[in-house]
Amino acid sequence: MKKMISAALLIGGIALLYFGYQEYQSFSSEVEEFVTGSPDSNAVWMMIGGGAAAAAGIFGLLQKSK
């Protein structure tokens, strides 16, 4: 059961990383970064959350079961 949750975290984390990167590269994000000088916060939070979820998923998959 724990391995399934870890796999779901890994897949969800990779998806969040992908969509966060796509949002970061979007035209609206580029315009916002040009105007404000900082990247879109939604994209940054998606990539941070995706990285954390993917790391937790990898850690859970690599742990030995009892």
SS3 63: coil
Q: Which helix (DSSP H) or strand (DSSP E) does residue 16 occupy? A: helix 2-24
Q: Note the pLDDT tens digit of each residue in 6-24.
A: 999 999 999 999 999 998 8
pTM of the model: 0.81
What confidence category does residue 59 fall into, taking pLDDT thresholds of 50, 70 and 90?
very high
